[in-house]
Amino acid sequence: MIGNVISGFLMDTHGRRLTLIICEVPMIIGWFIIGFATTAIELIIGRLILGLGCGMGMIPPRAYVTEISLPNMRGVNGSFSSVGIALGVILQAIFGAFMKWPSLACLNGFYSVVLVLLAFIFPETPYFLLMTSTPEKTKMTLRKFRSVHYNIEAEMDTLLEFKSDNRLRRLSLHEQMQMLFSKSACKPFSMIVTYIIISQLVGINLLLMWTIEMLDKSKSSVDPDAGNIALAIVRLLVGIGTSFLMLKVGRKILALVSSLGVFVVCLFFGIYISYNTQQSVLPFVFFMLYVIVASIGYYPLPMLLIFELSPLQIRGVIGGLGIATLNGTTFAVNALYLPICSLIGFANVTLGFSIFSLIGALYVYFYLPETKDLTLQEIEEFFNERRPTLTSQRRIRSMMALSRQLGSAESRSLMRIKSKSFNR
C-alpha cells in the first residue's frame, strides 16, 4: 500500500515513463535478495523491498496504457493487465512445480530487469507532456502512438483546447492535496473505491490466494494442484476474451453480467455445499463458473475504471490511493477469511459472496457510469463544474470529427453510444 501511494505521487511529479523505471528497482533488489537469502531475516528484508516495488509497479503501467490509447481501444488495452496477472499465476504455478524457490525468485528478478530495459525505450505519454512540455513535443510523441493515416491535427486541437479550458499544468504537492478534495476528484474516487471494495467482498482475490484450500473444503474430487492450474488457465482465456469483448460491449453491461453471474453461481454453490456430503466434480464446476463470470467484470474493470475516471493532473495520486484501497481490502479480507470460515462455515461464506455480489449489481446499475468510446477529456469534464457547457460542445465536435473519419453506419453507432453515456 505504501508503494502504491509513493508511485502515484512520483507519476504526477516526474512522469509516467520515469516512474515505470523507478518502480522496477526495488523489485529487482527484492527478488535477488530472496533468491540468494540464507537466513529468515534476509528473506523478510527481501519481501519488504519486493512488496514496496510490487506496490509501486501496479500504478504507472495502467495509467500509461490509459493515456496512450484511443477511446475505442482503451478498454481492450487496459484490461490486458488482468490477462498479465492471470498469465503470471500460471507461469508461477508451472515453474514452481519443478524449480526450487531461490531459482524462481532469481527468474522473477530477471523479468524485472527486462521491464527496466523496455521502459527506457518507451516515450512519455502525450497527456503528461500536455501538462509539462511544449505542444510540439506533445505532437511528436502522439505520432508514435498513432497510425500514419490518423488525423493527428484534430486530436492535437482537442488536447490543446482541453488544456486551455482546464488550465492544465504540473501541480505542486500542496496543489495536488487541494485538488484531491475537489468535486472532480472526490466523486469519481468514491464511485470506484466503492466498486473496488464490493469486488473484494465477493471473494475474487480470496479464490486466487486460497484455491487449493477452497477446493478441499468444498469436497471437490479434482486434484487441488491440477484444479489450481486449470482455474488459472480459464481465468487467462476468459480474460483475453473479455478484453476483445470490450470493443463491442460497454463497461456497465460487463459489470452487471459479472455481478449477477457471481450472485447466481455463489447462491447455488452455497446451497449445494450446505447439503453435500460426498466428494464429486461439481464443486470444481462451480469454481470454474465463478472464475468465468468474475473474469468478465470483477477482475478487469476496477483497475481500468480508476484511471479512466481520475482527473489528469492527479491521476497518479488517485490511482495510487485507489489501488492502495484495493490492496488494503484484499489484505483485510484474506486476514479475516479463516476466522470467519471457522465461525460460520464455508457454505455461509459462499452465500455471503452471493449477497455482496447482488449489492454490487444494484450499485453498478444505479451509480457506475459508462465510459466506453468517451475520450478522457469528456470523462473528466463530466465530473467538474464546467461540464454543462464544455463537454456538450466538445462531444458535438468529437462526434463530427469521427463521422468524417468513419463510415456512416459506424459513425451513427458511435454517436448513439456517446449520447447514452453518462445519462445516469
Predicted confidence (pLDDT) per residue in 375-418, tens digit: 888 888 888 755 544 444 455 455 545 455 545 444 445 455 45
| Superfamily in which the 2-122+177-367 domain is placed by CATH | MFS general substrate transporter like domains (1.20.1250.20)
Q: What is the pLDDT of residues 313-328, one digit of tens each?
A: 999 999 999 999 999 9
Per the CB < 8 A criterion, the answer to whether 261 and 354 are in contact is: no
Per-residue pLDDT at 173: 84
Per-residue pLDDT at 414: 47
Q: What is the pLDDT of residues 328-365, one digit of tens each?
A: 999 999 999 999 999 999 999 999 999 999 999 999 99
Mean pLDDT of residues grouped by 10 in the chain (424 residues)? 94 93 94 95 96 93 92 88 83 84 93 91 93 93 91 91 87 88 88 93 88 87 85 88 89 95 96 90 93 92 91 92 93 93 93 96 92 88 62 50 50 50 48
Per-residue pLDDT at 211: 85
Per-residue pLDDT at 217: 86
Per-residue pLDDT at 413: 52
Per-residue pLDDT at 172: 87
Alpha helix segments (H runs only) across 276-375: 282-296, 301-309, 315-344, 346-367
Against a cut of 0.85, is the pTM above it? no
- Count of C-beta atoms within a 10 Å radius of residue 318: 27
Q: What is the DSSP string of 208-252?
A: HHHHHHHHHHTTB-S-HHHHHHHHHHHHHHHHHHHHHHTTTS-HH
- Count of C-beta atoms within a 10 Å radius of residue 382: 22
Comparing CA positions, the residue from 13, 141, 9, 7 lying closest to residue 61 is 7
- Across 206-227, b (16+ Cβ under 10 Å) vs e yields bbbebbeebbebbbbebeeeeb
Torsion, Cα of 121, 127, 131, 136 (10° steps): 70
Q: Residue ranges per domain, the chain?
A: 2-122+177-367
Q: In degrees rounded to 5, what are phi and psi of residue 280? A: -160, 175
**DSSP 8-state assignment for residue 314:** G
Per-residue pLDDT at 202: 94
Per-residue pLDDT at 395: 54
Per-residue pLDDT at 215: 87
